[in-house]
Structure 1
Amino acid sequence: MSLDLKRTDSAPITSVDMLLEGFRSAEKPRAQHRLGLEHEKFVYPVGGARSVPYEGSSGIGALLERLAPGGYTPFRETPDSPIIALQKGMLTISLEPGGQFELSGSPFVTAREAHAENLAHLAEVKAAAAPLGLQLVAMGYRPFGTTDAVSWMPKTRYVAMRQSLPERGALAHHMMLMTSTVQVSMDWEDEADCVRKTVLIARLTPLLVALYANSPLRDGKPSGYLSFRSRVWDEVDPTRCGYLPAFFDGSFSYRAYVEWALDAPILFLRRNGQYLRPKMTFRRFMQEGYEGSPADLSDWTDHLSTLFPEARLKKIVEVRGADCVPADMTGALAALWRGLLYDRAALDEAERLLPRLTLEQQRAFHDTGRREGLAGRLEGHELHRLAGEMVAIARRGLLRLDPADAPLLDVLAEVAASGKSPAQRVLEAWEKNPNPETLLARCAL
């Protein structure tokens, strides 16, 4: 996701083939495959349950200021505007709209390297947060309060999205302000490899949602979902979220993704240091231009970053189904998908784990995963057992590929064997002691 108001001039788009070439250019030999972690988390006052604003001596901005001397380059949209990100090498610390603190990690060969980087990041941020009276909290959705109580971060892109997305879905602001996730990004070798991996990610996403469900509360009450974060995405924008039909009917390809993306409305265009909001799909923009300006490849890159399917293609494929969880489960996410996707035998085995479902059946499966977590069932099969087998397949893949990564999966095997998603333990703790500050302290990183 671009940080800058400015844009790089690039070639006007003259054909769909130019868009397909963007995915072809991302192909890498297997020996060059890497993975990357993204870890969002909430920031709360120690002993408090209100979100932290950007401003103030104990605000999000002050936390960035304290971190900046640690070898980071601060990023501002203009020389006079506040810091909205920190960069060090290929690592970026940025802010989601409601002040969720996000690490976009470096690309690594191994999951344990990505995990180590995240642990170092967490230790550094916690050390900077402590003197400010702040703590980091791992949950998928803010358990207390409403969107009205959350401050927006000072980033111009979010102003545009704040205006555009609510026109598409009633829970758009909830997604922006109230949710937090962990993601992993993976590489592919060629189009056939991309198709297999993307489709498998989509098919397994309900199991991932169940295994990582960690957002059962909404405004201090059980929401009826173990992953309310996942439920929020239903009402953000149906044209840019969820599952592509092509994931399940055998027609997925680079072109299928491009054609789907072309029919999604544009959220914004960057022009002359401003974010414009044209009311058109990207397909129409490509055909007609906007205010005399043609669509170019920089616009397409921006557009791809505003699409949110369960498996998202850019120069990598993103796995998007997990709630924010503690660090051990975050590291395990990288190990899980390395084992499933980067070992050919594991990929073959994982493709046979679940029955082939239609789009509607997949949506129902997804709803089961987010409502019931590991206690749910698919065609009579207990989800905790299916999740356990998914983890076991990944472990076998890692033992062939790189045994040193395999121990990271231990925590997932334990969660699956327990039959309880993390959210169920949150609910148990909340029922025993319905005190917001106590629960947030329990979920602190």
Structure 2
Amino acid sequence: MSLDLQRAASEPITSLDMLLAGFRSAEKPRSKHLLGLEHEKFVYPVQSAQQVPYEGPSGIGALLEKLAPAGYTPFRETPASPVIALQKGMLTISLEPGGQLELSGSPFRTAREAHAENLAHLAEVKQAAGALGLRLVALGYRPFATPQQMSWMPKTRYVAMRQTLPERGPLAHNMMLMTATGQVSFDWESEADCVRKTVLIARLAPLMVALYANSPLLDGKPSGYLSFRNRVWDEVDPTRCGYLRSFFDGSFSYRAYLDWALDAPILFLRRDGEYLRPKMTFRDFIHRGYAGSPADMSDWTDHLSTLFPEVRLKKVVEVRGADCASAEMTGALGALWRGLLYEPGAMEEGERLLPKLSYEEHLAFHDTARRQGLAGRLGTHELHRLAGEMVAIARRGLERLDPADAPLLEPLAAQAASGRSPGQTVLEAWQKDPRPEAFLGHFTL
């Protein structure tokens, strides 16, 4: 996601081939395939369940200031603007709209390297947060309070999205302010390889949703979903979220993703230090321009970053369906998909794991996973057994590819074997003691 108000001059878009070329330019030989890990988490006061605003001596801004001396370069939108991110090499610490703290990690060859970076990051942030009377909490959705009670972070992009997205869906602010996730991204070597990986991720995503379902509470009460975070995305913007039909009918390609993206409305355009909000699709923008200015490649890059499908293509393929979980479960996320996607035998096994479902059948499968988690069923198949076999396939892939990554899968294997999603533990903690400040202590990183 872009941090800057300004944007570099860019080449005008004169043909769709230019956009397809962007996907082709991301192709890499297998010897250069890397992975990247992202981990969002909530920040709360140690003795409270109140949201932490940006301002104040123990605010999010103060936390960034406390972290900055550890080799980070603070990032501001303008010289007079507040700090909204910290950068160190390829690593970025940034803010989601409601003050969720996000690590966008460096690209690594192995999952264990990405996990080690996240552990070091968490140790650093926990020390800084502790000095300010703050704690980090690993849940997929804020279990208490409502979007109306939240403070917004001082980032101009979020001002534009705050105004534009609610026109597309009633839970847009819930998504921006109340959710936290773990994500992982991967490379591809050709269009055929990209298609296989994207389709495999999409087909297996509900099993991952069930394994990571960690957000059952809504405003202090059970929501009816073990992953309410995932449910929120249904009412953000149906044109830019969810699954593409082409994932399931054999027609997915660079061009299929391109056509889907072109027909999504533009959320904003950056021009002269401002965020403009034209009401048009990107396809319309290419044909007509806006305010006398043509669509260019920088606009397209911005637009791709405002699409939120379960599997997203940019210069990498992003896996987006997991709730925020513990550091160990987040490390397992990288190992799971590295084992499934980067070892040919595991890819073949993964493709055979589930029956071929239509788009509508897959949506029903996905809904079962987020409602019931590992306790759900796909036809006669128990989801916890299918999830356990998916983890086992990934382990076999890693044992052939890089055995040192395989131990990272142990928390996932144990989760699947238990037959219980993390959200069931969350519900039990709430039932034993629903007091917000005590409850959050169970899920502090």
Alpha-carbon separation, structure 1, partners of 2:114 and 2:121: 11
Q: Give the deviation of 1:438 after TM superposition.
A: 1.3
Q: TM-score, normalised by structure 2?
A: 1.00
Alpha-carbon distance, 1:435 to partner:
1.4
Alpha-carbon distance between aligned partners in 2 of 1:273 and 1:87, rounded to the nearest angstrom:
21
Give 1:320's aligned residue.
320
Q: What is the deviation of 1:432?
A: 1.1
Cα separation, 1, equivalents of 2:406 and 2:439: 31
Query: Distance in 1 between the 2:331 and 2:26 partners?
Result: 25
Partners of 1:13 and 1:163 in 2: how far apart?
27
Distance in 2, matches of 1:162 and 1:81, equals: 19
What is the aligned partner in structure 2 of residue 336 from structure 1?
336
Written as runs of structure 1 = structure 2, the 5 A alignment for 1:18-417 is 18-417=18-417
Q: Which amino acid aligns with 1:240?
A: R
8 Å Cα contact 1:183/1:318 also seen in 2? yes
**What amino acid is the match of 1:64?**
L
Alpha-carbon distance in structure 2 between the residues aligned to 1:30 and 1:419:
35
Once residues 64 and 370 of structure 2 are traced to their aligned partners in structure 1, the CA distance between those partners, rounded to angstroms, is 34
SS in 2 for 1:256: helix
Structure 1 SS opposite 2:298: helix
Question: In the aligned structure 2, how far is the partner of 1:357 from the partner of 1:96?
Answer: 34
Tell me how far 1:434 sits from its aligned partner. 1.2
Cα distance between partner residues in 1 of 2:44 and 2:100: 10
Say whether the 8 Å CA contact 1:129–1:135 is kept in structure 2.
yes
Give 1:10's aligned amino acid.
S
Equivalent-residue separation in structure 2 for 1:195 and 1:8 (angstroms): 31
SS at match of 2:193: helix
Following superposition, the deviation at residue 51 of structure 1 comes to: 0.7
Question: What is the distance in 2 between the residues matched to 1:430 and 1:262?
Answer: 44
CA shift, 1:357, in A, is: 0.6
- Residue type of the alignment partner of 2:30: R
3-state SS of 2:69 partner: coil
Distance in 2 between the 1:186 and 1:438 partners?
38
Q: CA RMSD in A?
A: 0.4
On the 8 A contact 1:93/1:102 being kept in 2, the answer is: yes
TM superposition shift of 1:149: 1.2
Structure 1 residue 90: Cα displacement: 0.1
Q: Which amino acid aligns with 1:44?
A: Y
**Paired letter, 2:137:** V
Q: Which runs of 4+ in 1 moved over 4 A?
A: none
Secondary structure of the 1:234 match is helix
Equivalent position amino acid for 2:111 in 1: A
Deviation at 1:379, TM superposition (A): 1.1
Alignment partners' CA distance in 1, 2:409 and 2:88? 29
Q: What are the superposed Cα offsets for residues 3-38 of structure 1, whole Å, 9 maximum, x if unpaired? A: 000011111001110000000000000000000000
Q: State the 1:366 CA deviation.
A: 0.5
Checking the alignment, whether the CA contact within 8 Å between 1:50 and 1:149 is kept in structure 2 is no
Shift of 1:363: 0.5
Give me the whole-angstrom Cα distance separating, in 2, the residues matched to 1:94 and 1:6: 18
The CA distance in 2 between the partners of 1:201 and 1:117, in whole Å, is 24
Q: Distance in 2 between matches of 1:321 and 1:329?
A: 14
Equivalent residues of 1:266, 1:281 under 8 A apart: yes
- Describe the SS at the equivalent of 1:200: helix
User: Structure 1 residue 58: deviation in Å?
Assistant: 0.2
User: Hey, what's the Cα distance between the residues in 2 that align with 1:271 and 1:429?
Assistant: 49
Mapped partners of 1:342, 1:379: distance in 2: 29
CA deviation map 1:374-419 (0-9, x unaligned): 0000011000000000000000000000000000000000000000
| TM-superposed deviation, 1:167 | 0.1
> What is the DSSP-based 3-state SS (H/G/I as helix, E as strand, rest coil) of the residue aligned with 1:12?
coil
Q: Output the amino acid matched with 1:260.
A: W
Following the alignment from structure 2 to structure 1, what is the Cα–Cα distance between the partners of residues 304 and 352?
Answer: 30
Percentage of pairs with the same residue: 79
Partner-residue secondary structure (3-state), 1:251: coil
Give the match's secondary structure for 1:61: helix
Q: Give the counterpart letter for 1:75 in structure 2.
A: F
> CA-to-partner distance for each residue in 1:291-320, whole Å, 9 max, x for gaps?
110000000000000000000000000000
Superposed CA deviations along residues 338-377 of structure 1, whole A, max 9, x for unmatched, are: 0000000000000000111111111100000000000000
d(CA) in 2 for partners of 1:277, 1:3: 18
Q: Deviations for 1:51-101, whole angstroms, at most 9, x for unmatched residues?
A: 100000000000000000100000000001100000000000000000000
Contact 1:339 1:395 in 2 (8 A): yes
Deviation at 1:324, TM superposition (A): 0.2
- The answer for unaligned runs of 5 or more in structure 1 is none
Q: Which secondary structure does the structure 2 equivalent of 1:352 belong to?
A: helix
Q: Distance in 2 between matches of 1:348 and 1:163?
A: 44
C-alpha distance in structure 1 between counterparts of 2:408 and 2:356, whole Å: 29
- 1:425 Cα deviation from its structure 2 partner: 0.6
**What is the distance in 2 between the residues matched to 1:155 and 1:433?**
36
For the 8 Å contact 1:373–1:421, the answer to whether it is kept is yes
> Which residues of structure 2 form unaligned runs of 5+?
none
Alignment-mate amino acid for residue 142 of structure 2: R
Shift in Å at residue 233 of structure 1?
0.1
Q: Following the alignment from structure 2 to structure 1, what is the Cα–Cα distance between the partners of residues 409 and 216?
A: 24
Q: Supply the distance in 2 between the matched residues of 1:360 and 1:102 (Cα, whole angstroms).
A: 33
Aligned to 2:353, the other structure's residue is in SS state: coil
| Aligned-partner Cα distance in 2 for 1:418–1:334 | 21
